[in-house]
Amino acid sequence: MSRYTRSLCSPDRQMLCASDGEKHEPVWFYKISSSEDGIMHLTDILVQEKLHFVRLRKMIYFDNAATTLRKPQAVINAVCQAMRSLGNCGRGAHEDALAASRIVYSARSAVSELFQCGNPRNVVFTANSTEALNTAILGMFEKGDHIISTDMEHNSVLRPLYYLQRMGVDVDFIPADMLGNIQYDDIPAYIRPETRAIICTHASNLTGNLVDVGHIGGLARAHGLLFIVDASQTAGIIPINMKRMNIDVLCFTGHKSLMGPQGTGGMCLAEGVKIRPLKRGGTGVQTYLKEQPEQMPTHLEAGTLNSHGIAGLEAAIRYIQQTSLEKIYAHEHMLMNRFYEGMRQIPEIRIYGDFRAERAPIVAINIGDIPSGEVSDILNERYDIATRPGAHCAPRMHQALGTVEQGAVRFSFGYDNTAEEVDAAVKAVKAITVEYLRK
Amino acid sequence: MREKAKTREWLIITFHTTAEAMAVEKACRDSGISGKLISAPRQLSSDCGIAWKCDILYRQTMEELLNASRIEFEQIHEITVQS
């Protein structure tokens, strides 16, 4: 720190806060100007101090299930470096194009390794989970087919399925109970000769309840069904092994628990799985062919890839692997349990979901009958705590929980959150409860 | 007296996709096989714009590598270049 000069905090000199990834203790820095060009070189500071996350505003962010706000500095560095140096992946053999092609291929390898896909060429990059899920759901079925899904799904699964229903595909949804769980024993009764696939989330984005995808995958394999999994809430914190779990198509997003940039995501296909392309267009290969090339991953990747974002995604996966999923899971679950225990002490609080088993780090609550949007706005405006109220794009889950009218306030925890932040949120919820319900 | 033209023989491997070309480059780097990615000569391929070029002495090694790494390719060409 000696080579930097600290300046006083003023409107034009924003205060910076960086948290140490190891201890999760917030460490505060003032905006620093270098002696030579007057420009702050934050990267230098981070490298010197070995800090993992940077905070540009002192607030409490508990909306990590929507997107992780703070990315590891390694991710930011990788995107910046990529934006300075990459040409277009697959478009030419000059060094800049090859640099992009190499990074994209390296990212495919990282994704394949993380999910035990078995072949980097079966990793397809998309803009997000929604695009991956649409590609899979709209590209594998015909009129007369039957699909089994669940009440726990996000609209990124539900809306493509509802569209298929209008096209003559039959869809059944395994109902969720009041705890937000599905009953696995119910599934076999839904399987019939026309059934082609089971499509389900790995964890509810509303309750955080986990689905035993290993169990369902075994069931799907035993009945010769395709198994498509939405890993939007689990990729990067819960281990996923496509082979062991018998997953045929795994869809993921890069910007949530994987801690990568928005605009990244993808799908991993088991060997031999065929999907019709959702998009057709330039690929840099087989130019004179009128159809989309049949070979993977080009078959499902028309148009310029987001190489800059993918470079960040690769850095994010490497960061997670270096840190270890177990360590990330343990920290986020410590925070989740701390918040859950805090909520249990307040009689007016209703908590949704099942906390008896392994789960995604989410706690959804309501305070009495106060509308969820109102609670979330108070938390934001008065306490600078970011949460997500309302319906969370999960209509069937809210119907199952009986929260269609009120919605729910979702607290979702990330790797850079701290126990002190959780305690502040518990205190804030208590204060709101006292003010609105006990006076 | 005219000097006899020197020739050199190369192996050119063409691919259907960029991902296959990248997989070959990585596999060769990992195995210590020298070579480089080049723009695929139009007369050899209209598929992937990128091809792998290495010394023809690597023919058997490359075939074994492609097979062991389960990397699909379009074709293996042997070309002679006059220098």
What average pLDDT does the segment A163-188 reach?
A: 97
The confidence score (pLDDT) of residue A51 equals: 56
pLDDT digits (tens, 9 = 90+) for A125-142: 999 999 999 999 999 999
pLDDT one-digit tens code per residue, A96-125: 999 999 999 999 999 999 999 999 999 999
Say whether B49 and A296 touch across the interface (CB within 8 A): no
Residue-wise pLDDT for A14-73, tens only, equals 334 444 334 333 333 333 344 444 444 444 444 434 456 766 667 899 999 999 999 999
Mean pLDDT of chain A: 89
Yes or no, beta carbons of A101 and B72 under 8 Å apart: no
Best B18, B38, B73 member to test A by mutation, with max A CBs in 10 Å, is: B18
List the domain boundaries for chain B.
Answer: 7-82
Would an 8 Å CB–CB cutoff place B49 in contact with chain A?
A: yes
For the segment B14-33, the average pLDDT, to the nearest whole number, is: 95
Looking up tokens 């959780």, which residue turns up? A422
Whether chain A has a CB inside 8 Å of the CB on B37: the answer is yes
**Where are the domains positioned within chain A?**
5-58, 78-323, 325-437
Per-residue pLDDT at B81: 85
Closest chain B CA to residue A294: B16
Predicted local confidence at residue A37, as pLDDT: 45
Average pLDDT of the residues in A144-173: 98
Of 3.40.718.10, 3.40.50.261, 3.40.640.10, 3.30.230.10, which CATH number belongs to A78-323? Answer: 3.40.640.10
pLDDT for position B49:
84
Averaged over B49-73, what is the pLDDT?
Answer: 94
Q: Which residue has the higher pLDDT, A49 or A223?
A: A223
Res B52: pLDDT: 96
pLDDT of residue A56: 65
- Residue A10 scores a pLDDT above 70: no
Q: Is the pLDDT of residue A333 over 90?
A: yes
Q: How much is the pLDDT for A6? A: 37
> A90 to chain B: which residues are within 8 Å by CB?
17-18, 48-50
SS (H, E, C) chain A: CCCCEECCCECCECCEEEECCCCCCEEEECCEECCCCCCCCHHHHHHHHCCCEEECCCCEECECCCCCCCCCHHHHHHHHHHHHHCCCCCCCCCHHHHHHHHHHHHHHHHHHHHHCCCCHHHEEEECCHHHHHHHHHHCCCCCCCEEEEECCCCHHHHHHHHHHHHCCCEEEEECECCCCCECHHHHHHHCCCCEEEEEEECECCCCCEECCHHHHHHHHHHCCCEEEEECCCCCCCCCCCCCCCCCCEEEEECCCCCCCCCCCEEEEECCCCCCCCCCCCCCCECCCCCCCCCCCCHHHCCCCCCHHHHHHHHHHHHHHHHHCHHHHHHHHHHHHHHHHHHHHCCCCEEEECCCCCCECCEEEEEECCCCHHHHHHHHHHHHCEECECCCCCCHHHHHHHCCCCCCCEEEECCCCCCHHHHHHHHHHHHHHHHHHHCC
ipTM: 0.86
Q: Please tell me the predicted confidence (pLDDT) of residue A184.
A: 97
Calculate what percentage of chain A has a pLDDT beyond 70. Answer: 87
Q: Write out chain A residues lying below 8 Å of B27, CB-based.
A: none
Which letter does DSSP use for residue B8 in this model?
Answer: E
Q: What is the pLDDT of residue B7?
A: 85
CATH superfamily name and code, A325-437:
Aspartate Aminotransferase, domain 1 (3.90.1150.10)
A251-278: average pLDDT = 98
The CATH class of B7-82 is alpha beta
